[in-house]
Homo-oligomer: A and B are copies of this chain.
Amino acid sequence: MNQDTITSFSTFTLQLPDWLPEYLINIPAHFSTIDQKMTFVTELARLNVKYRTGGPFAAAVFDSITNRLVAPGVNLVTTSHVSIAHAEIVALTLAQHAVGHHDLGAEGHSPHELVTSTEPCAMCLGAIPWSGIRTLICGARDEDARDIGFDEGTKPPNWVNTLHARGIVVTQDIHRHKAIQVLQDYAKDGGSIYNGRQSTP
């Protein structure tokens, strides 16, 4: 196999869009309420649409003890050209990288929570138990994402209970209307609905 081909697939860098680190300079280091955390996350989703850096979704991992932001995430599917780059995956991955551990619930570490502007799709739902987070806080419902044409995948109908059974507390509908507004604005603006294979099996 030739060296150029090997080099073409040996590495991939996941990177937040330029506007995001700049935006963070002016935010507080701590977020004391769920309201503040979700307001921050829906604002990231709105800005991700505004700057056209991906789909209308954002997420963030917080330390549940200090309420410090550990890592943010926005949807980067169309701009990074990889389909796993959903907001939750980006936030969890950058948080684990920052903490230096693949398990955000590992002994000796603070418990962590994932705040997401829209309920997780089937992939992100599957990623949550592996991440070690203990709390999931959601804005819009997955049917709100389906309403504008996004495919959320085959989730168990009782998916909230499957997380509760693993000791992961789920809170739904926090500022749902704000997250819906971002979804609707994205659709109205002609944003790409980038489902796998254009939803044509």
User: Does A10 make an interface contact (CB < 8 A)?
Assistant: yes
Count of chain A residues with a beta carbon within 8 Å of a chain B beta carbon: 79
Q: Are B24 and A1 in contact (CB under 8 A)?
A: yes
Which of A43-51, A93-101, A135-143, A182-190 lines the interface with chain B? Answer: A93-101
Q: Are A11 and B15 in contact (CB under 8 A)?
A: yes
When C-beta atoms are compared, the residue in chain B nearest to A161 turns out to be: B154
Min Cβ gap A123→B in Å is: 3
User: Does A105 make an interface contact (CB < 8 A)?
Assistant: yes
Given known contacts A16-B11, A29-B2, is B132 in contact with A83 (CB within 8 Å)?
yes
Given known contacts A24-B1, A126-B126, is B89 in contact with A84 (CB within 8 Å)?
yes
Q: What is the bound-complex CA distance between A195 and B96, given in angstroms?
A: 15
Q: What is the bound-complex CA distance between A156 and B159, given in angstroms?
A: 11
Contacts of A123 in B (CB 8 A): 123, 126-127, 130
User: Does A198 make an interface contact (CB < 8 A)?
Assistant: yes
Chain A residues in the interface with B (C-beta under 8 A): 1-3, 5-16, 20-21, 24-29, 69-72, 77-78, 80-85, 89, 92-98, 100-103, 105-107, 121-127, 129-132, 134, 151, 153-154, 156, 159, 162, 165-168, 194-198, 200-201
